[in-house]
Amino acid sequence: MPVLTCPEHVVDVDGVPMSALVAEVPEPRAVLVALHGGAVTSRYFDAPGQGSLLWAGAAVGFTVIALDRPGYGSSAPHGDQMSSPARRVDLAYGAVDRLLATRPRGAGVFLMGHSMGCVLAVRMAAGRRGRELLGLEIAGIGRQPQPLAAAVMGERMQDGPGRGRTRTALRDILWGPDYLYPGDGAAVTTSAAPAYEGGEVRRWMRDFPGLAARVRVPVHYSLGDHEKVWRSGRAGLAEVAALFTASPRVTADEQAEAGHNLSLGLSAMAYHLKVLSFAEECVLARGETA
């Protein structure tokens, strides 16, 4: 197993400090860049005792960068500069470029997103630099929210005496069932969410098909078998996979014994190894076409 540390790094991107956790190996197969979901931080991918993605990736030869998305971590005070989706894409790519300026990339960069992190990841993959990527993993996202999740999210936007019940229901949807997690994983990863995310949620269903159709790299899509936010099961997986019409390869996978937060559950290591296996296949494919 490689010797590594996972310190926080902060780089300046056009006057905005962008933070990330980095697990670096000397000669990486490739670099995996992970984008967390809403109301959490990059620590989501490095929670103790739960199959840390950073440690798992480094153990099999990948440098892993868990980036605090724009509006989180060190960039949180600059939230008023984050309203444009294009600006957030530029900040994310800028942070990766600066973090890798003096580090080897191996075969290239593989991009991974969870939940709201998928919105940024898909935008990055669909943009002008998307073809440079080795591949894309998206997880905990979908086209259609489950009815209870849609109702709870709608109520959360409103003030009223039922907000306490709404918070409890939202916690159950995002972090349940409890037996799938080793403890309260939310306690070590939670963060205030930037203001722009409310609009991102509302635009996602409209924008997702068009963005997905512009992704031209291999795609791996994952949902937990106990997913409570998005339509799941065979139909839900197929519905999203079918959107990536320009991708040379699309694989949809249901992770057993997993809820919405795949990287924090008891099955986190099993999930991370699947993602890393797909990333390794993308490395091999890049070598064949180089």
Q: According to the model, what pLDDT value does residue 188 have? A: 61
Q: pTM score, two decimals?
A: 0.93
Burial 76-91 (b: 16+ CB within 10 A, else e): bebbebbeebeebbbb
Phi-psi group of 174: left, alpha or beta (phi > 0 → left; psi -120 to 50 → alpha; rest → beta): alpha
Tell me if 126 sits within 8 A of 212, measured CB to CB. yes
Domains (range + CATH), the chain = 8-145+185-289 (3.40.50.1820)
- Return the percentage of the chain with pLDDT > 90, whole number: 72
3-state secondary structure of 281: helix
Task: Provide the 10 A C-beta neighbour count for residue 8.
Answer: 14
Q: According to the model, what pLDDT value does residue 184 have? A: 57
Cα distance between residue 174 and residue 172, in whole Å? 6
Q: According to the model, what pLDDT value does residue 289 have? A: 66
Residue entry with tokens 């190894």: 273
Considering the chain, what is the average pLDDT of its residues? 90
Please give the average per-residue pLDDT across 31-46, as a whole number.
Answer: 95
| Per-residue confidence band for 158, with pLDDT thresholds at 50, 70 and 90 | very low
Q: According to the model, what pLDDT value does residue 199 have? A: 84
Q: According to the model, what pLDDT value does residue 20 have? A: 98
Q: Is the pLDDT of residue 4 over 50?
A: no
Residues in the chain: 290
Q: According to the model, what pLDDT value does residue 162 have? A: 45
Cα separation values, 278 from 28, 142, 220, 275, Å: 16, 20, 7, 5
Q: According to the model, what pLDDT value does residue 80 have? A: 81
Cα distance between residue 117 and residue 172, in whole Å? 20
For residue 79, how far is the Cα from the chain centroid? 19
Q: According to the model, what pLDDT value does residue 50 have? A: 67
User: Minimum mean pLDDT among 132-136, 154-158, 170-174, 221-225: which range?
Assistant: 154-158
Measured in degrees and rounded to the nearest 5, phi and psi for residue 48 equal: -65, 140
| Per-residue confidence band for 79, with pLDDT thresholds at 50, 70 and 90 | confident
Please give the average per-residue pLDDT across 205-215, as a whole number.
Answer: 96
DSSP 7: -
Q: Is the pLDDT of residue 194 over 70?
A: yes
Q: Is the pLDDT of residue 2 over 60?
A: no
| Per-residue confidence band for 160, with pLDDT thresholds at 50, 70 and 90 | very low
Q: According to the model, what pLDDT value does residue 185 have? A: 53
3-state helix, strand, coil in the chain (%, to 5): 45, 20, 40
Q: According to the model, what pLDDT value does residue 53 have? A: 96
Cα distance between residue 260 and residue 74, in whole Å? 26
Cα distance between residue 137 and residue 147, in whole Å? 25
The 10s digit of each residue's pLDDT in 260-282 is 999 999 999 999 999 999 999 99
Residue entry with tokens 């306690």: 187
Cα distance between residue 173 and residue 170, in whole Å? 5
The 10s digit of each residue's pLDDT in 216-255 is 999 999 999 999 999 999 999 999 999 999 999 999 999 9
